[in-house]
Amino acid sequence: MQYKTEPKEKFTVIKLTDTILSSNLVPELTVLTNSILEKDPKNLVLDLSAVTNWDHAIIEQLVDAQQKYYDNNASFVICCLSSSLQDSLDATDFADMMNTTPTESEAWDIVQMEEIERELLDSDDMEFNTQD
């Protein structure tokens, strides 16, 4: 599998350069996504702009990886899906489970919003008044 990695302040962008993602790439893609989760920043934006076709097993792996990120308080956003990828995703039960955006800029916005949300939810500064 061919890809380029671009570290940013709050996330890492991985741009896959293969045009076809077949099921035999699932193990390599799993290792790649897991490796980003072990670093800082552990948020991932996966740019699929070069990809024109993917196997169902790839979609399943990406859903699993995305869930693993959220379970570890990190963001995983997929961006730049071609219309053919979007159509094949929409034909699965996974379309509503995946966090996708049309552009990397929108992916950046989602990562920022999720970071703020995690900070607010993890904050001990919040006090609630309870009346009995």
Which CATH number covers residue 43?
3.30.750.24
Q: How would residue 26 be classed by pLDDT, with cut points 50, 70 and 90?
A: very high
- How is residue 74 written in tokens? 């990190």
Any domain includes 126: no
Region 79-97 average pLDDT:
93
Please state the rounded mean pLDDT for residues 41-64: 96
Within a domain: residue 46?
yes
pLDDT score of 127 more than 90 = no
Parent domain of 34? 3-110
Phi, psi of 51 (to 5 degrees): -80, 130
93 lies in some domain = yes
Structure tokens at 54: 């993917």
Q: Model-level pTM?
A: 0.87
Whether 57 maps to a domain, the answer reads: yes
* pLDDT-derived band at 125, boundaries 50, 70, 90: low
Q: What mean pLDDT value characterizes the chain?
A: 91
Q: How many domains does the chain have?
A: 1
42: confidence class by pLDDT, cuts 50, 70, 90: very high
Residue 123 in any domain: the answer is no
Residue 121 lies in a domain: no
Residue 109 contacts by C-beta under 8 Å, 6 or more apart in sequence? 101
- How many helices and strands, by DSSP H and E, does the chain display? 4, 7
pLDDT exceeds 90 at position 132:
no
Q: Is residue 14 part of a domain?
A: yes
Is residue 7 in some structural domain? yes
